[in-house]
Amino acid sequence: MSFLELIPDWLLIHGPAFLMALPLIMAAITAILPNKRVAWASTFIVTAILTLTAFSIALYNAEVGSTLYKMGGWAPPHGISLVIDALNAPVIVLIAVMAFITVIYAMPATIAEIKPNKRAPFYAAFLLSIAGLLGMVVSGDAFNVFVFLEVSSISTYVLVAMGAARDRRALSAAYNYLILGSIGATFFVIGVGFLYMETGTLNMADMARILADMDGGSRVSKIAFGFIVIGLGLKLAMFPLHAWLPGAYAYAPTPVTAFLASTATKAALYLLLRFTFFVFDPSYTYVADVLMFVLVGLGVIGMLFASLQAIFQTDVRRMLAFSSVAQVGYMLLGVGIATTASVAAGYLHLLNHAVIKGGLFLALGAMWYRFGITRTQDFQGLGQTMPWTMGAFTILGLSLVGVPFTAGFVSKINLAEAAADAGWWWAVGIIMLTSILALIYIGRVLLMAYFQSPPEVNGNVVDRNEAPLMMLFPMWVLAIASVVIGVEAGVMVDAATRAAELLLGTG
Amino acid sequence: MTPQIALALLLIIPMVAAVIIPIFGKSPNIREGVTFVAGLALLATVVYLCLDVAQGGRPELQMGSFAGKFEFTLKLEPLGATFAAIASSLWIVNSMFTLGYMRGNKEKNQTRFYACVAVAIAAAMGIAASANLITLFIFYEALTISTFPLVTHKGDEKAKRGGTIYALILMGTSLALLLPAIIGTYVIAGTTDFVVGGIFPEGTSLVATSLLLILFAFGIGKAALMPTHPWLPNAMVAPTPVSALLHAVAVVKAGVFTMLKVVTYTFGPSLTLATPSSTWLAWIAAISIVLASVIALRQDNLKARLAYSTVSQLSYITLGAMLAVSMGILGGGLQIVMHAWGKITLFMCAGAIYTIAHRTNISQLDGLGRTMPWVFGAFLVGAISIIGIPPLGGSWPKFFLMMGAVESGKAILIAALIASSILNIIYLVPIAVRGFMKVPANPEDDAHIAEVRKKHRWVIIPPVITAIGSLVLFFFAGGIVDFLQPILPGGGL
């Protein structure tokens, strides 16, 4: 572990707290920075440090196993604890890396999309959102999870609303998101309240132990579980609780969309995993029922229905948004089958889809930046006018479909295999079918881009006009990452398997 | 040289040629020289490998793995060796023809053309030597992508439209049907390797195999089983050498080769026979055979007629595969060889007529045979081979397929084969007859053509070579059958 030797010890030990404290403090400072490049630079540096920290924590975790950090030295269950284990370490890395990548992209994008006097607040809200997401992932305390969930949500509402400079509809989208997100958070906190009633603790490890002693607990914990699943379901855009998502993704500023699509719903899904398998346990009948009927049922309906809706969208952003709802269905399916292999596949799809969808939205943002493209028909001739951007879009789009040598293929085949091993043959069929639907909606756009000539404006054929390097670089990092994962899946599959083994207590 | 190295050379030789060709873009003679050298080197490699395979060798080459569970591996077996042999040998003949055609018609972007053909050949070699379905799938897609610039070579609207349909159908069927079929196979069987006798475990649900077989049959769009065939006539916007090599040999044969391979090595003949959908697919193939022949009958454009004839002839192989008896599968394998040599002759004749006389329609060919006797002679020989009249190569596969139909108890399918042969006679022979027997519409024109003809000998010699080849192959059919026998479980016939 030569890399870890380079990292100071205090960072490894206090890393979990540092992860959320740094963006939280820097958000306040960034808000009052002058509205020039300084705000961007500070965000850039913060996310770079976060990425480094997240990587070293994840490596450290792989070496020493789960770590418990006691805030202020107060031992749980009375003090607040932060936990790093095989389940959240990859999600932490994901959030930090996606934040870093998005910030690089945000530099040119914000200049085009955000008014100069709003840029410092924009970056402040962005940092706040990162702090919230990282906080809810590392926290070992259910109430703190709620607090950070709200921190990230409220800052996200602000970020979505900032798309108003580009399209006024961002305001109503943000309002929608605000109402539904608040309902979700409320449900979640009610669920946590019931759990506190039942167990008398807010520490998640403690809750798990007490619930296990009570053999799943009374009706109160059943209700708590219901509230938590619905609350998180809203946050992670589980069908049919996804109504806020297409609008928010379509009208938010493009860097926000990319960041949201790759982290916010993923963090919520992580929480769902944490609660269903860790705090509660699939051995309780009510949890098993919810897994089998609610998560799988809604997941599968979402896969089919949202994929079909994606096909009929004329706006590419909404198309990708519906595709995200469908992809959440894959993850829920994997979680719902509840074998080690299937949970690992669902978890792997969580990570892979974040890379894929983040990259797709970055490419789409670059297309808006150059040509104002939002609709499928605007894609005509993009293969010639923006070959590099379109190239990244193509690779990532094929990855979404699940073509060999891409990340999407790895997670889909793992999921199909896990479903088959569990005897869920119909699920294998559904996975195939929705992959075909994905091929239709992605193929439709690719067809426009590569088989149509560039449009004419004022009698002149549109010239080649490639996106700036600061936009190309991040999207190609993700496109190449998706291919690398597709070829050398080992690291990701191992990480996902470790997470699943931790959750199911196997291995 | 070891067989492993030879296997690697199958890919390396054409790829290296594809890299070198653009370097000599400015000096056409060296550029074409590269193609010929590469072609001969490739043929020598393939012959070496064929000899090894005939002695029971199954050279294997691991090239890596991906996604943690898929091997990217080459492994040559008799069927693949046969496909590699016809693709590499006809590449040389066709390069001769390409030289005459491209220069004779002063086509643009010739360098790109030769380079793309070399890449397409590499992809075809990859398909021939794939050790499992996933590897095959990768090369299958590579073949589609590398031939797309060839189909749209002219660059006008018509070429673009044809190319779009070409790519759309081939990409669409492969991604939407073939890939799920491969994944389904992997999930059920736990592997996608090609193993004699099939890989599905005992007791696999016949509903599942039925579904998979249907997905495979229509997912392998290159086999042009109706209704996935429209890409083939649309791809005829390509220059004739492309039609000749790729749409009579490499691309379509890659399709039917894959079909045969799936039936013999993935399902295994006995499971295919037990799978209910194989009967339906045999009927669909029979309908394709007759229907495409009827459509061919109605085409006046020579290339379009040949295209539909190809659709019809390809379904013979699909039919042979779906009969799933030894005779049917061997007949399908033979048909790959015989049809390749026969159809490339016809396409090259069409190209020669276009280059020398600038005629594309059958109704314009009256009396042209008197001015171009070699071309029309070769055409007649090719046509007879396609129809299946001895002593030409094409007669053997028809015979085998009829035997196969009887063996599998579907003797009624013989009717489709006979109907198609009769239709073949009606739509192919009159073209040559018209050329020789009818009086030219405009004798002065023909006199002019007779003069230009001498400049274009490189479009005349290749079809004559392949016509002779069709004749010679008649006498070697037994050898090919013996060579192919090991692909059947239990040692063949």
What mean pLDDT is predicted for residues A500-505? Answer: 88
Structure-model confidence comparison of residues A448 and B449, the more confident one: A448
pLDDT, residue B362, reads: 83
User: Would you say residue A218 has pLDDT above 90?
Assistant: no
Cross-strand pairs, B71:
B65
The pTM of this model reads 0.88
Least confident of A203-207, A262-266, A381-385, B453-457: B453-457
pLDDT band at B216; cut points 50, 70, 90: very high
Tens of pLDDT, residues A110-139: 888 888 888 888 999 999 999 999 999 999
Q: ipTM of the predicted structure? A: 0.80
- Average pLDDT across chain A, whole number: 90
Shortest Cα distance, chain A CAs vs residue B132, angstroms: 13
Q: By the CB < 8 Å criterion, does B207 face chain A?
A: no
From the list A432, A489, A493, which residue is nearest B183 (CB)?
Answer: A432
User: Would you say residue B307 has pLDDT above 80?
Assistant: yes
Tens of pLDDT, residues B6-49: 888 888 999 998 888 888 878 888 888 888 888 899 999 999 88
From B338, B315, B342, B310, select the one nearest B236 (Cα to Cα). Answer: B310
If DSSP codes are grouped into helix, strand and coil, which group holds residue A461? strand
A435, B168: Cβ pair inside 8 Å?
no
What mean pLDDT is predicted for residues B188-210? Answer: 86
From the list A405, A432, A451, which residue is nearest B66 (CB)?
Answer: A405
From A184, A277, A195, A193, select the one nearest A231 (Cα to Cα). Answer: A184
Residue of chain B nearest A491, judged by CA positions:
B68
Tens of pLDDT, residues A410-425: 999 899 989 988 888 8
Selected residue of B63, B70, B137 to mutate for chain A interface (largest A Cβ count, 10 A): B70
Shortest Cα distance, chain B CAs vs residue A411, angstroms: 9
User: Would you say residue B300 has pLDDT above 90?
Assistant: no
- How far apart are the C-alpha atoms of A276 and A254, rounded to whole Å? 33
pLDDT, residue A1, reads: 53
Tens of pLDDT, residues A82-114: 999 889 999 999 999 999 999 999 999 888 888
From A269, A267, A423, select the one nearest A341 (Cα to Cα). Answer: A423
pLDDT band at B369; cut points 50, 70, 90: confident
What mean pLDDT is predicted for residues A158-169? Answer: 90
Residue of chain A nearest B191, judged by CA positions:
A417
Selected residue of B173, B175, B231 to mutate for chain A interface (largest A Cβ count, 10 A): B175
| Percent of chain B predicted with pLDDT > 70 | 99
In chain B, residues with a C-beta closer than 8 Å to the C-beta of A451 are 160, 163-164, 167-168
From the list B67, B164, B180, which residue is nearest A435 (CB)?
Answer: B180
Shortest Cα distance, chain B CAs vs residue A406, angstroms: 8
What mean pLDDT is predicted for residues A49-72? Answer: 88
From the list A412, A436, A451, which residue is nearest B176 (CB)?
Answer: A436
| Percent of chain A predicted with pLDDT > 70 | 99
| Terminal Cα-to-Cα distance of chain B (whole angstroms) | 33
- How far apart are the C-alpha atoms of A413 and B14, rounded to whole Å? 33
pLDDT, residue B2, reads: 83
pLDDT, residue A452, reads: 80
What mean pLDDT is predicted for residues A288-292? Answer: 88
Which residues have CB under 8 Å from B385's CB, separation 6+? B338, B341, B342, B345, B392, B393, B394, B395, B470, B471
User: Would you say residue B431 has pLDDT above 90?
Assistant: no
| Residue B132: alpha-carbon gap to chain centroid | 20
Does some domain include residue A499?
yes
Does some domain include residue A269?
no
From the list B66, B160, B180, which residue is nearest A487 (CB)?
Answer: B66
B67, A413: Cβ pair inside 8 Å?
yes
What mean pLDDT is predicted for residues B238-265? Answer: 87
Backbone angles phi, psi at A84, to 5 degrees: -120, 120
Residue A322 to residues A288, A393, A409, B1: CA-CA distances in angstroms? 28, 17, 20, 55
Cross-strand pairs, A326:
none
Compute the 3-state secondary structure of chain A and give helix, strand, coil in percent, each to the nearest 5.
80, 5, 15
If DSSP codes are grouped into helix, strand and coil, which group holds residue B411? coil
What mean pLDDT is predicted for residues A29-47? Answer: 87
Residue of chain A nearest B176, judged by CA positions:
A436
Which residues have CB under 8 Å from A315's CB, separation 6+? A250, A374, A375, A376
Structure-model confidence comparison of residues B482 and B68, the more confident one: B482
- How far apart are the C-alpha atoms of A453 and B160, rounded to whole Å? 10
From the list A439, A447, A489, which residue is nearest B176 (CB)?
Answer: A439
In chain B, residues with a C-beta closer than 8 Å to the C-beta of A425 are 208
**Residues A135/A392, Cβ–Cβ less than 8 Å:** no
pLDDT band at A171; cut points 50, 70, 90: very high
A420, B187: Cβ pair inside 8 Å?
yes
pLDDT, residue A245, reads: 92
User: Would you say residue A305 has pLDDT above 90?
Assistant: yes
In chain B, residues with a C-beta closer than 8 Å to the C-beta of A413 are 67, 69, 183, 186-187
A413, B186: Cβ pair inside 8 Å?
yes
- How far apart are the C-alpha atoms of A268 and A138, rounded to whole Å? 12
pLDDT, residue A114, reads: 86
Residue of chain A nearest B183, judged by CA positions:
A413
pLDDT, residue B491, reads: 63
Residue carrying the six token digits 């053909």? B117
Structure-model confidence comparison of residues B491 and A131, the more confident one: A131
Residue range of the domain that includes A395: 297-507
What residues in chain A have their Cβ under 8 A from chain B's Cβ atoms?
401-405, 409-410, 412-413, 416-417, 420, 425, 428, 432, 435-436, 439-440, 443, 447, 451, 486-490, 493
User: Would you say residue A380 has pLDDT above 60?
Assistant: yes
Tens of pLDDT, residues B76-107: 888 889 999 999 988 888 888 888 888 877 77
- How far apart are the C-alpha atoms of B438 and B376, rounded to whole Å? 13
- How far apart are the C-alpha atoms of B81 and B99, rounded to whole Å? 27
- How far apart are the C-alpha atoms of A471 and A106, rounded to whole Å? 8
pLDDT band at B437; cut points 50, 70, 90: confident
- Angle in degrees, 0-180, between the axes of helices B413-437 and B276-297, rounded to the nearest 10: 20
Number of domains in chain A: 1
pLDDT, residue A157, reads: 94
What mean pLDDT is predicted for residues A317-330? Answer: 93
Residue ranges per structural domain of chain B: 3-491
What mean pLDDT is predicted for residues B49-60? Answer: 85
What mean pLDDT is predicted for residues A36-58? Answer: 90
